[in-house]
Amino acid sequence: MDAENFAADEKAAVGGIAADRLRSIIERVERLEEERKALAGDIKDIFTEAKSAGFDVKVIRQIIRLRKQEPAEVEEQETLLDIYRRALGM
């Protein structure tokens, strides 16, 4: 192996790590984190819009959380909530 090829191989794999691949992975994660930050800002804007339209943002968040769950799980939680409320005389 000549000196030029050795230097190129050493640059590509420093300490047994493929530097270009590592850089690519890190840059992809960084881009996704930037996208996530932008999306979080968009979601915040939507909640602000909902609040200014008179909606209760806390309730909207609860509905979103419920919609992510299975219907049977939601029904079970609502049943337990009802039982607990009755037990407390509410």
Start-to-end Cα distance in the chain: 82
Q: Where are the beta strands (DSSP E) in 8-83?
A: 13-14, 17-18
- Provide the 8-state DSSP code for 14: E
The alpha-helical segments, DSSP class H, found in the chain are 3-12, 19-52, 57-67, 71-87
Task: Please check whether residue 34 is in contact with residue 26, taking contact to mean a CB–CB distance below 8 angstroms.
Answer: no
Q: Which pLDDT score is estimated for 16?
A: 76
Contact 11, 19 (CB under 8 A): yes
Which stretch of 2-6, 12-16, 62-66, 77-81 has the lowest confidence by average pLDDT?
2-6
Q: The pTM is what? A: 0.65
Report pLDDT digits (tens) over 24-48.
999 999 999 999 999 999 999 999 9
